[in-house]
Chains A and B, each alone.
Chain A
Amino acid sequence: MKELIWLVPLLPLAGFLIVSLGKSYLSKNLSGIIASTMVLGSFLLALGIFFDISGSKEKSFTVNLFEWIATGDFKVNIAFLIDPLSAIMLLIITGVGFLIHLYSMGYMHDDEGYAKFFSYLNLFVFFMLLLVLGDNYLLMFAGWEGVGLASYLLIGFWFKNSSYNDAAKKAFIVNRIGDLGFILGIFLIYITFGSIQYSNVFSEALNLKESEPAIVAATLLLFIGAMGKSAQIPLYTWLPDAMAGPTPVSALIHAATMVTAGVYMIARSNILYSLSPETLQFVAIIGGVTAVFAASIGIFQNDIKKVLAYSTVSQLGYMFLALGVGAFTGGVFHLMTHAFFKALLFLGAGSVIHAMSGEQDIRKMGGLRKKIPVTFITFLIGTIAISGIPPFSGFFSKDEILAHAYEVSPFFWVLGVLGSMMTTFYMFRLLFVTFFGSFRGTEEQKHHLHESPKTMTIPLIVLAVLATIAGFAGIPDIMVHDGHWLESFLHPVFKGSEAFTHGHKMSHSMEWILMGATVLITVLMLLFAYTKFVKNNNVPAGDEKKQGFLPNLLANKYYVDELYNAIITKPLNALSGFTYKFMELKGVDFIVNGTGNAIVWISGVARRVQSGNTGFYIFAMVVSIIVILVINLFNK
């Protein structure tokens, strides 16, 4: 099966080409079907590869396709690396990707850019697969940039709305900052190790000392790339704005797959990061702070997609916290469960928006429970999963992260639990306000309320099932001995860094206590939200009625956008205005126009030489000959 690996990214690319080039020839349904089939094909292949990998003893294959770049000592191949990590990522991308394609066929049905939408989605899947499959940093970077492009195209999908375009540009530009770090990191890796192929880099890295400055710098630079792509402090501001894109896009790109690229990258480079404990510490702090910070903003948001966006930022923070404390398996585990339940939540939100004819403000919803039962039940499952209530998937992955965080430092554990608390609160707030109480929308919307079509509900149900059971892939050791299937599956990838994670196993009783405490706090928060929003039937107030300093601060997202605007955008704009006025208009334009004017003037004078008088021409010729001869004479 692994010989067919090249087909996995090729199918979506073919889909992209067919759908985008044949847009005007294919019927609407057909383009959607082609695009979805391509991703389904990739998924089936990925499934085959997955079973190949788990069945065989050899856990890592490199499939060399062709030489890409060869200049001097610098050689890069288009080569795909298949190992447990990329196999898991393949399954998530193609699996969730296929479900979202299916969902989009219903959700985007009335959109005029239907075929365009599917071609972009396929393009995205192609680049994402490239990112995950590449066996060197450059190929990963190519995919990394490609998904950025697809993300830009899809955020600005409804490009007639200029604020959506601004959001797309913002995402692209903020990502550039991270990408700069990433590519500098790649340069540094090449300088240090003389290669950018994973296998060479990692085997070379093992010969180096811990905390070697080159490695610390390289990992930090790579992490800057991850900050941009995975929306961590301080580069997270683009992700909430990216919700301007169609909801399936938010689900696929800005929740399940693309934003986890940073997590994948660090998990892939786990050896480098293990060799640099300083960077790991930094990653953990950034991740933990992001988890709490974003969750706190989520509490006061009233846009259903904005809440989920901040929740995504917060959950990504969890993943980085996991990576930072050396729990690479935990990070990937949370990546997987998060892909399921967050995609589910976004698709559920999409279904709600669909039912509400485009309304996204939860204050105008309410009581939808009975109108759209399938959406409600699946959304409920997603909410329970993200809150970490056993036995749903979020519980297992979050618990693993928290346990490892506690082993490194209780501070990280406190951060994690704080984030988890707030996550529970705002998710149930969202659920209760949306689905309970009485309907607060207009009569027209009420009349129009309907359950979504089958193509939309089936993905919801599948994802709900996955969100429920995915956690059993990693049952903690204390519950079932050797129950953590994922850990043993990913062991070949992470075994190199085991020697460096100086983890001290804590006692079983301690682990039970922590687990119990977390669940208890979660359930308390659930009850708090229940009393606040269902018992007392509280509806969140409008922005203008916010009382007190803290709610105001949170509702306005800590004024981070305004802060960036003031300290980065405004000075840059002022500087650009200055250079435009003085350098461009007075300097460059002057030189350019001056050159043109001078030439016009000189030719006006010089053309009089062309009098048309043949005698004069001959005279000029003779004089020139004399001049040449004289010069020749004096040069001797």
Chain B
Amino acid sequence: METLQAIPLNHYILLSAALFSIGVMGVLLRRNAIIIFMCIELMLNAVNLLMVAFSAHHGDGKGQVFVFFIMAVAAAEVAVGLSILIMIHRNTNTTDIGFLNKLKF
């Protein structure tokens, strides 16, 4: 498509990197487990975007098919992760990861 020629590939890379870094920052800054979860989704989407961009660049549909699988995995992850969160909330009455500090020696 003629119209796309104007946008360099590395702009997509920069966009993805920015979105990914925002996700990471969110994970670091927030203590609410649900927000952290959303930030993870954001990171996954940054990767997806890059995948599609490269797929278009190389003219290969496999990249887009791969995105489908990532979506499937993300859906599964969200389902299980949220149910774990519900369990945690039910037991501790909070979703603050600061309280979940039993993961140590």
Contact = CB atoms under 8 A, between A and B. Distances in A.
B28 A612 contact: no
Nearest to A610: B104
A607 B104 CA distance: 9
A614 B97 contact: yes
A615 B102 CA distance: 12
A553 B72 CA distance: 100
B6 interface: no
Contacts of A619: 28
Interface in A598-636: 607, 610-615, 617-619, 622
Contacts of B31: 615
Contacts, number: 27
Contacts of A614: 97, 100-101, 103
Contacts of A611: 101, 104
A613 B102 contact: no
A614 B27 CA distance: 10
B98 interface: yes
Nearest to B28: A619
B105 A610 contact: yes
Contacts of A622: 24, 27-28
Contacts of A617: 103
Interface of A: 607, 610-615, 617-619, 622
A607 B24 contact: no
7 contacts: A612-B103, A613-B98, A614-B101, A615-B31, A617-B103, A618-B28, A622-B27
Interface residues of B, number: 12
B14 to A, nearest CB: 15
A615 B97 contact: yes
A617 B105 CA distance: 13
Nearest to A607: B105
A611 B100 CA distance: 11
Interface string B82-105: 000000000000000110111111
Contacts of B27: 618, 622
Interface in B19-70: 24, 27-28, 31
Nearest to B97: A614
- Top 9 nearest A-B pairs (CB, nearest first) are A612-B104, A612-B101, A610-B104, A614-B97, A613-B101, A610-B105, A612-B103, A618-B27, A607-B105
A622 B28 CA distance: 9
B61 to A, nearest CB: 30
Contacts of A612: 101-104
B41 to A, nearest CB: 16
B28 A615 contact: yes
B48 to A, nearest CB: 19
Contacts of B97: 613-615
A610 B104 CA distance: 5
Contacts of B101: 611-614
A254 B102 CA distance: 73
A499 B88 CA distance: 101
A515 to B, nearest CB: 93
Nearest to A619: B28
Given A614-B100, A615-B97, 6 more contacts: A613-B101, A614-B103, A615-B31, A617-B103, A618-B28, A622-B27
A615 B104 contact: no
A613 B99 CA distance: 8
Contacts of B98: 613, 615
Nearest to A625: B24
Contacts of A610: 104-105
